[in-house]
Amino acid sequence: METLHATQTLPANTSGFVFKVSVVAALGGLLFGYDTAVIAGAIGFLEIKFGLTPVMVGWAASSAIWGCVLGAMMAGYLSDRFGRKKVLIITAVLFFVSSLGAAIPQSFTQFVLARFVGGLGIGAASMLSPLYISEIAPAKIRGQLVSLYQLAIVLGINLIYFVNFKIAAQGDSAWNVEWGWRYMLGSGTLPAFLFFVLLFLVPESPRWLIKRRRYDEALQTLEKVNGKEKAREIADEIQSALSQENGTVAELFSPGLRMALVAGIVLALFSQITGINAIIYYAPEIFKSIGFGPESAFLQTVLIGVINTVFTFVAIWLIDRAGRKTLLMWGVGGMIVCLLGIALCFQYNITQGPWLLLFILAYIACFASSLGPIPWVLISEIYPTKTRGLAMSFCTLVLWIGVVFITQFTPVLLKGEMGGAGTFGIFLINAVILLIFVWRKIPETKQRTLEEIEQSWKQ
């Protein structure tokens, strides 16, 4: 049944405001995608420039991810203490400094340190951007607005693919070894600076303000988002929920919220260990290994990016209509079929025709319309306000550990005895486990206020 707030039509003058604020916050996802993919274009030139060994190449690729792990760990505590907006501003500064430092290192060690600093910002923003949007968005369109974060990640990946391609085309191999990679990595200063400036134009999270007893400031923001008629009612609802919470980490392990914590961890982890990054990161190598030339492999990777973008828009359109759980069930179910098809193509060496590519593209479509954006939405809305930052920080930490695991072990699995069939067979098993968990344990949260969702776990 729809809730009171879900059935209200947003005042015309508020919808534009909340959309603009959400777009600004979602730029943290653009930096996420940008940083994730920029190294793919630069790593070959870096390897030659610094004479890197395979182990050092691994550090060049993973140093930012380790920073993301630490950034995700710290973000919850810092945002609960200092505010969502202030810490987001710090993430923009960290990414700017990292992009500049990675473009002008005097040694490989300096390069790794610069990338690690950027990872701190990306890890923190990966938790804070969806958290901020969920705390400011009206229940009726919260799913769509939080999904903008996943869309921004996809757009960031596609943008840097294009930027890397254009920069590499400006000179020959020798020029790229000396200068090209510097421009690729340094280009990240532009979106970081834009993010930094725009953050000064958005308000602090009203739920965080009320938690800090800054009621009047919170009310001003809620009036801009929901209209004056509903703002005070929502503010009182938030205040009432906060007064019933003790705000400790121990509360997350209480009988009423323990399953919410488990749900967030499972969604975060399984969004990474069901195969998506194995395809996104290693698509060119996968296509080359089965006989496609470098140019053909690149074009097919671009096609994957296009499908990813289109079906992320589909998710944004459906998430507040069909609901989170429904999309997850259909999307993960489709992923299972596609992963089975991919594994069978490798097992029976059916790799030269169209089937493998079709299964991969269908898998991307299923993921982008479900498991891509929905975990960010659910994780940002299922926890109490006083502990939401810490809970999301923990879930995001688990997500980044999953990224590290997949990044480190996918090449080993693909090139080892398991090969493509065994590797994607593991992802298939993980997807089946996730589908069962979603069916049994994940509640529907569409068009419910954060406070109503919180109470549902305690019933």
Rounded to 5 degrees, what angle do the CA atoms 131, 268, 273 make? 150
Count CB atoms within 10 A of the CB of residue 340: 16
Q: List pLDDT tens digits, range 174-213.
A: 998 999 999 999 999 999 999 999 999 999 988 888 888 8
Query: Which tokens hold the place of 263?
Result: 């749900």
Residue 236 pLDDT class (50, 70, 90 cuts) = confident
Question: Worst-scoring range by mean pLDDT, 37-46, 88-97, 382-391, 415-424?
Answer: 382-391
Q: Are residues 107 and 27 in the same domain?
A: yes
Q: Are residues 188 and 292 in the same domain?
A: no
Q: Provide the domain count of the chain.
A: 2
Q: Are residues 169 and 257 in the same domain?
A: no
pLDDT at 4 over 70: no
Q: Are residues 178 and 251 in the same domain?
A: no
For residue 193, the model assigns a pLDDT of 97
Is residue 327 one of the residues assigned to a domain?
yes
Burial class of residue 406 in the structure, from the number of CB atoms within 10 Å of its CB (0-12 exposed, 13-18 middle, 19+ buried): buried
Average pLDDT of 141-156? 89
Q: List pLDDT tens digits, range 256-276.
A: 678 888 999 999 999 989 988
Is residue 217 one of the residues assigned to a domain?
no
Is residue 7 one of the residues assigned to a domain?
no
For residue 282, the model assigns a pLDDT of 59
pLDDT at 9 over 60: no
Q: Are residues 277 and 399 in the same domain?
A: yes
Q: Which of the listed residues 144, 176, 202 is the one where a domain comes to its end? A: 202
Q: List pLDDT tens digits, range 283-294.
A: 665 666 656 655
pLDDT at 6 over 60: no
Q: Which of the listed residues 179, 202, 225 is the one where a domain comes to its end? A: 202
Q: Are residues 269 and 128 in the same domain?
A: no
Q: Are residues 114 and 263 in the same domain?
A: no
Cα 195 from Cα 89, distance rounded (Å): 8
In residues, how long is the chain?
A: 459
SS3 label, residue 337: helix
DSSP assignment string, 55-70:
HHHHHHHHHHHHHHHH
Residue 92 pLDDT class (50, 70, 90 cuts) = very high
User: Which of 339, 332, 236, 216 shows the shortest CA–CA distance to 279?
Assistant: 339
Helix (H) or strand (E) holding 238: helix 228-243
Is residue 267 one of the residues assigned to a domain?
yes
Q: Which of the listed residues 202, 236, 271 is the one where a domain comes to its end? A: 202
Q: Domain range holding 328? A: 246-459
Q: Are residues 296 and 432 in the same domain?
A: yes
User: Average model confidence (pLDDT) for the chain?
Assistant: 84
pLDDT at 119 over 80: yes
For residue 194, the model assigns a pLDDT of 96
Is residue 1 one of the residues assigned to a domain?
no
DSSP assignment string, 365-401:
HHHHTTTTTHHHHHHHHSS-HHHHHHHHHHHHHHHHH
Residue given tokens 């725009």 in the structure block: 198
Is residue 230 one of the residues assigned to a domain?
no
Q: Are residues 302 and 437 in the same domain?
A: yes
For residue 184, the model assigns a pLDDT of 94
Is residue 234 one of the residues assigned to a domain?
no
Helix axes 324-347, 374-381, angle to 10 degrees: 140
Q: In this structure, are residues 445 and 324 in contact, taking their beta carbons and an 8 Å threshold? A: yes
Q: Are residues 166 and 266 in the same domain?
A: no
For residue 434, the model assigns a pLDDT of 97
